[in-house]
Amino acid sequence: MELDLNRGMYKLFKVLLIGVFCVNLYANDLTYSFIKKGVDDNNTVLLIGGIQGDEPGGFLAASLVATEYNVTKGSLWVVPNLNFDSIIKNDRGAFGDMNRKFASISPDDPDIKSVNGIKKLLLDQNVSMVIHLHDGSGFYRPTYINEMKNPRRWGNSAIIDQEKLEFPSPYSNLKAIATQVIEKVNQNAIDDEHKYYLRNTNTALGDKEMLKSLTYFAITNAKPAFANEASKSLASHERVYYHLLAIEEYLKIAGIEFQRGFELNPKSIKKEIEKEIEIVLFNNKFYLSLNNPRAKIGYVPIPKDTALEYNCTSPLAALIKDKNGYTVHYGNKILTKLVPEFIDYSNLTSSIEIEVDDKKEQIELGSKIEVSSYIKVLKKDKIRVNVIGYGSKPVDESNIKISKKDIKKSFSIDKKGNIFRVELYEQSKDGDKFIGMFLVEFKDGKSS
């Protein structure tokens, strides 16, 4: 009973997320995601991560807010991956520093679409507060302590461009708000060394670099803006922890309420950022649940002469075409590589009857099922079943009870050797056509 419930929730979760992101992009044409949370109103907080591609604390934190936070009161907009191209390349800025392009930008600059797009969001009449996430070097300290802790470092600080803003806004006292956030963060610091300080860049008084930045563009356009820096000296999940502490306090100040799908501590956050990434190709025809996947997944059925279509459960995931296939990226990391096998598709069915551990059920293609003992796909006319890694000839493998021990471990999609592909083909005279597939995950420790 408990298992069925989990399975139902799992499917719902998947559909919701994939519905939200609809990334649907073609390889090498990456644009940022824009996710609206809650119900639009004129007190919207805009949260931005990933302006620099080598700052995972910021983009992972914003991505978690986009996917794992449920806004129950108020309006929150999230752009977790503003400079998506540079995130995938693990580069600060593949076309130069995007955060220096807000005062002026050349019309030929490849970043112009992202810069103009985010400017439009910043200027939206509903946006009343902006939070901009960064990972900075060392630890900012107002006085010199040592090489890594001094006034020239940026890590673990709350940044404002000036103390107060001249326009009417409930958030015009930048210093007071950032100070409240710092207090909250410091109450929850893992270590005294990590404590946050306020850094006022006094931008208008002559900080030439910051004059070109996103937050300065915001405040000069009547939008209160705060930058939050985590330290590059910390592990990614610890940076995310500090970002989330700060973000939650800013949201509280703005009166935005939410539920979070995990506990706010470094250990739970580590689990969240390392959890499986789901990808569907061509509207659920091919489905991958990537949890510690093998470096390469071969024989992925892709239709001939068609641009790749895919959706992911994370706005930080992307498939990039290369010489022999598609590389699956997640933030700064490469998860796996898909090697295609070009084949015609068939729409014969979108589900099939199976028997799992003595229980019959109908499974949707493009999903995953957990199995303790065995799986059997029931025979259906015109359909050839291929359990990848079972047998060696392309014969129909329906009506056979198959256990983990019957499948060659090297054909699993995960390194642990628990997750396998079951594919369906329509049998026809001019070659079999690919109908769809599902995944079977054998529970650890059982293989009878």
Shortest Cβ 133–Zn ion spacing (Å): 8
How far apart are alpha carbons 82 and 84 in whole angstroms?
Answer: 6
Nearer to Zn ion by C-beta: 52 or 63?
Answer: 52
Using CB under 5 A, which of the segments 46-54, 307-315, 397-405, 415-423 binds Zn ion? 46-54
Count of alpha carbons within 13 Å of 6, Cβ hemisphere only?
A: 6
The phi, psi pair for 248, rounded to 5°, reads: -65, -35
Decide: 363 and 354 in contact? Cβ < 8 Å. yes
Nearer to Zn ion by C-beta: 228 or 313?
Answer: 228
Residues in the chain: 448
101: contact with Zn ion by CB under 5 A:
no
Shortest Cβ 448–Zn ion spacing (Å): 53
Nearer to Zn ion by C-beta: 52 or 386?
Answer: 52
DSSP-H helix ranges across 256-308? 266-274
For residue 368, give the nearest of 419, 293, 292 by alpha carbon.
419
Shortest Cβ 390–Zn ion spacing (Å): 49
- Coil, strand, or helix at residue 425? strand
CA 247-39-66 angle, to 5 degrees, is 40
212: contact with Zn ion by CB under 5 A:
no
CB nearest Zn ion: which residue?
Answer: 134
Decide: 92 and 53 in contact? Cβ < 8 Å. yes
Nearer to Zn ion by C-beta: 14 or 134?
Answer: 134
* CA 29 from centroid of its chain's CA atoms: 17
Nearer to Zn ion by C-beta: 83 or 398?
Answer: 83
Shortest Cβ 154–Zn ion spacing (Å): 8
Nearer to Zn ion by C-beta: 229 or 414?
Answer: 229
Shortest Cβ 132–Zn ion spacing (Å): 9
Contacts (CB under 5 A) with Zn ion, residues 55-74: 55
52: contact with Zn ion by CB under 5 A:
yes
| DSSP notation for 113-137 | HHHHHHHHHHH-TTEEEEEEEEEES
Both tokens assigned to 192: 């005294």
Shortest Cβ 134–Zn ion spacing (Å): 3
Site size toward Zn ion, by CB under 5 A: 3
Shortest Cβ 76–Zn ion spacing (Å): 21
Shortest Cβ 52–Zn ion spacing (Å): 4
Shortest Cβ 411–Zn ion spacing (Å): 42
DSSP state of 127: E
**Residue 169 neighbours by CB distance under 10 Å:** 14
- Coil, strand, or helix at residue 440? strand
294: contact with Zn ion by CB under 5 A:
no
Using CB under 5 A, which of the segments 52-60, 120-128, 268-276, 409-417 binds Zn ion? 52-60
Nearer to Zn ion by C-beta: 97 or 370?
Answer: 97
Shortest Cβ 33–Zn ion spacing (Å): 19
Nearer to Zn ion by C-beta: 58 or 224?
Answer: 58
**What are the residues whose beta carbons fall under 8 Å from the beta carbon of 359, sequence distance 6 or more?**
none
Nearer to Zn ion by C-beta: 148 or 222?
Answer: 148
Q: Order of strands, edge to edge, in the sheet holding 402-403? A: 359-364, 351-356, 374-377, 402-403
Strands 351-356 and 374-377: antiparallel
Q: Per-residue contact track with Zn ion, 118 to 147, x per CB under 5 A?
A: ----------------x-------------
Q: Per-residue contact track with Zn ion, 6 to 45, x per CB under 5 A?
A: ----------------------------------------
First to last CA, the chain: 22
How far apart are alpha carbons 229 and 278 in whole angstroms?
Answer: 30
Decide: 287 and 293 in contact? Cβ < 8 Å. no
Nearer to Zn ion by C-beta: 55 or 426?
Answer: 55
Shortest Cβ 409–Zn ion spacing (Å): 43
Nearer to Zn ion by C-beta: 55 or 414?
Answer: 55
Count of alpha carbons within 13 Å of 93, Cβ hemisphere only?
A: 15
Binding site for Zn ion (CB under 5 A): 52, 55, 134
